[in-house]
Amino acid sequence: MTQKSELIETEDLHARAMAAAGYIRSVARMQPRLGLILGSGLGDFAETVEDATILPYHEIPNFPVSTVAGHSGRLVVGKIGDIPVAVMQGRVHAYEGYSMKEVTFPTRVLGLLGVERLIVTNAAGGINPNYGQGAIVAISDHINLTGTNAVVGPNESRFGPRFFDMTHAYSSALRKLASDEATKQGWKLAEGVYVAVLGPSYETPAEIRAFRTLGADLVGMSTVHEVIVARHMGIEVLGLSVVTNMAAGVLDQPINHEEVMETGKRIAGQFTNLLTALIPQLAAQSQE
Ligand code: HPA
């Protein structure tokens, strides 16, 4: 919100994120090594966290609170297997009126909490006709068409450098682990390029044709700024999209939010099985 976003000026962004991280640490008393952001309809995975401390976003200092149905808005700190994790059940989006600084504030906080790796998930429209509805796709790269960037403004060097590389924004090593685990579980994890738009209107068929020409396989309204901020802080990223619907014009039918949420629920079991098996592997690797 314009008024609220003015509260998060770059100068005090670090202090504000430190305050949030300090509060989370004082309540949860655990140092998460892995962060997980759960997208639309995918929040149920947070129920599998053990020894969970649940922090509603509105209780965490400076945390933005989502207005969208299906985004519960709580941080769950606990364990998956032996691995300490911080799971965001729901996120805020720029289309709600938040600035990209606010959208990425929780990612900053995860970084300050000490996470080394971040799994970012989302619901996406399938542009690539080879994907079926309900497919889980590992993001190999992104195209940011939101017209902005979360690190615009004076650089906060305590988070990271002014200019930073995005060649390996989505770790190929983490993608391979995810793909191998999916194969082990009897299905194929597809890969694709995610294009981010501002929303909240879904796209027109002409836009989807244009995005396909640009090289995009998936379209959504989140993720890229969280990934930009994570890379700014040197956090390794795995991005997973669930194709909740085919993008506009791919099928001759309208898109609606209920369908997006229902597809998320339908594949929840498969999604949970993948993450549950994968997370201990990701943490084991980062010790090397
Ligand atoms: N477009 C943009 N965002 C989305 C879509 C879509 O078709 N489905 C889920 N999130």
- Per residue in 1-38, pLDDT (tens digit) is 444 444 455 569 999 999 999 999 999 988 999 999 99
- Residue whose pair of structure tokens reads 């190929």 in the numeric block: 172
Arithmetic mean of pLDDT, 139-156: 95
202 lines ligand 1 (CB under 6 A): yes
The whole-angstrom separation of Cα 55 and Cα 28 is: 9
Contact 80, 49 (CB under 8 A): yes
Q: Which residues does 275 contact at the CB level (< 8 Å), separation at least 6?
A: 36, 45, 80, 119
Q: How many domains does the chain have?
A: 1
Which of the following is catalytic: 18, 95, 191, 273?
95
Q: With a cut of 80, say whether residue 111 has pLDDT above it.
A: yes
124 alpha carbon to ligand 1 midpoint, in Å?
A: 4
Judging by DSSP bridges, how do beta strands 136-144 and 236-246 pair with one another?
antiparallel
What stretch of H or E contains 77?
Answer: strand 74-80
Whole-number pLDDT of residue 44:
85
Half-sphere exposure of 262 (CA within 13 A, CB side): 7
Residue 247 CA to ligand 1 centre (angstroms)? 7
Helices within 119-223 (DSSP H only): 172-184, 205-214
Give the mean pLDDT of 100-128.
Answer: 96
Is residue 142 annotated as part of the catalytic site, yes or no? no
Q: For residue 164, which amino acid is it?
A: F
Domain range for 274? 2-286
Is 123 an active-site residue?
A: yes
Give the pLDDT of residue 26: 96
Lowest mean pLDDT among 99-113, 199-213, 259-273: 259-273
pLDDT over threshold 60, residue 71: no
Q: What is the CA radius of gyration of the chain?
A: 18
Cα-based distances in Å from 227 to 15, 45, 146, 151: 21, 20, 14, 11
Sign of the torsion formed by the C-alpha atoms of 39, 136, 149 and 221: negative
Give 72's pLDDT tier (boundaries 50, 70, 90): low
Do the strands 236-246 and 117-126 form a parallel or antiparallel pair, or are they unpaired?
parallel
CATH of residue 256's domain is 3.40.50.1580
Whether the pLDDT of residue 184 is over 90: the answer is: yes
Catalytic, 257? Answer yes
Identify the band that residue 252 occupies on the pLDDT scale cut at 50, 70 and 90.
Answer: confident
d(C-alpha 2, C-alpha 98), whole Å: 7
Higher-confidence position of 247 and 282: 247
**Closest ligand 1 atom to Cα of 246:** 7
What is the pTM (predicted TM-score) of this model?
A: 0.93
> From ligand 1's centre to the CA of 246, what distance in Å?
8
Indicate the pLDDT class of residue 193, thresholds 50, 70 and 90.
Answer: very high
Q: What is the DSSP letter of 248?
A: B
Mean pLDDT calculated for residue range 240-260: 89
